[in-house]
Amino acid sequence: MAGLPGLEQTRSLSRYGLSQVTVIFKDGTDIYFARQLVNQRVQEAREKLPEGTTPQLGPISTGLGEIYLWTVEADDNARKPDGTRYTPTDLREIQDWIIKPQLRTVAGVTEINTIGGFAREYLVAPSPERMASYGLSLQDVVLALEKNNSNVGAGYIERRGEQYLVRAPGRSARWTISVM
């Protein structure tokens, strides 16, 4: 999408085997002209996509389209199966992995934006000394994380006018692992 007239920002998100690219244009841009330009780029990219992939434009939306806000809360007496209380991290996980995917299936819902809570992260910080004591290399760790992955998310980081692709391979039986 880079280089389109009036382009202000692009964001991408890949989860659950689906990818979404959000293209934001400057205020005052003719939205139908912008959609035509985006559609042309999508058509150009279509032949480079995996077989069976069908890209499509979503509905027109604006930042003012956020029309419903909610909170995910746990009753004071609510307990997890292990008997502990729900933490902000647990509530965020419920939002991200249960509520959000279900709401995205509702007709007319374009995007769900999550605010608050604590997103669970796993940082893999290998210790070369300890790995050597087990006879493991950094490549062994990378391969183990890759083998564990069955779904890849991705996004972009913008820094000083440049964009960097960030892929997040890795998955355990229950939690997502982010590797950067």
Whether 69 contacts 41, CB under 8 Å:
no
CA dist., res. 29 & res. 34, Å (int): 7
Model pLDDT, residue 130:
93
What pLDDT digit, counting tens, does each position of 6-50 carry?
A: 998 888 877 666 778 888 888 888 989 999 999 999 888 888 888
Q: Which residue has the higher pLDDT, 152 or 106?
A: 106
Q: Is the predicted pLDDT of residue 177 greater than 70, yes or no?
A: no
Model pLDDT, residue 79:
95
Q: Against a cut of 0.75, is the pTM above it?
A: no
Q: Is the predicted pLDDT of residue 63 greater than 90, yes or no?
A: no
Q: Which residue has the higher pLDDT, 95 or 161?
A: 95
Q: Is the predicted pLDDT of residue 144 greater than 60, yes or no?
A: yes
> What backbone torsions phi and psi does residue 107 show, to the nearest 5 degrees?
-55, 135
Residue 16 CB-density burial (10 A; 0-12 exposed, 13-18 middle, 19+ buried): exposed
Average pLDDT over residues 116-142: 88
53 confidence band (pLDDT: 50, 70, 90): confident
The number of beta carbons lying within 10 Å of the beta carbon of residue 171 is 17
Whether 65 contacts 110, CB under 8 Å:
yes
Q: 92: closest CA among 64, 73, 65, 69? A: 73
> Measured in Å, how far apart are the chain's first and last C-alpha atoms?
24
Model pLDDT, residue 150:
53
118 confidence band (pLDDT: 50, 70, 90): confident
172 confidence band (pLDDT: 50, 70, 90): very low
What is the residue-averaged pLDDT of the chain?
A: 81
CA dist., res. 155 & res. 166, Å (int): 5
Helix (H, G, I), strand (E, B) or coil at 21: strand
Average pLDDT over residues 78-91: 94
Q: Is the predicted pLDDT of residue 178 greater than 80, yes or no?
A: no
